Amino acid sequence: QQEWAQAEKYYSEGLFLDETNTQIILARGQARYQQSKLEEALADFIQLIGIDPTLPTAYYHRGITLLRMKRNQEACENLQLAANWGMKAAQEVIKKACQD
């Protein structure tokens, strides 16, 4: 937990230098997710999609974050977008969490 907090701090500092660096935004979102800072993680993934709407990992991470927030319909829509771009991890989550 402490390592994730430290990672989040470093990623936030990195964003001061380059606020549109998609790799840093993704990494910070993941660090926040691991700390259960779900609203903040979600904000990072939304920002990421705003910068690059063709990034499947952004939709995947937004989807799993929304699942954890019990926002299943939105989650499954995002996971489906990631799956449409061929992301196998998204397809696996859909099989487990998004079937009627």
Give the pLDDT confidence score for residue 100 in this predicted structure. Answer: 63
Q: Does residue 87 come out as left (phi exceeding 0), alpha (psi in the -120 to 50 range) or beta?
A: beta
Give the pLDDT confidence score for residue 68 in this predicted structure. Answer: 98
Give the pLDDT confidence score for residue 80 in this predicted structure. Answer: 98
pLDDT averaged per 10 residues in sequence order, the chain, 100 residues: 86 84 94 97 98 97 98 98 96 91
> CATH number of the domain at 2-97, out of 1.25.40.10, 2.40.10.340, 3.40.640.10, 3.40.50.80?
1.25.40.10
Contact 76, 95 (CB under 8 A): no
Encoded tokens for 2: 């402490």
Residue 74 CB-density burial (10 A; 0-12 exposed, 13-18 middle, 19+ buried): middle
Contacts for 57 with CB less than 8 Å, ≥ 6 apart: 26, 82, 87
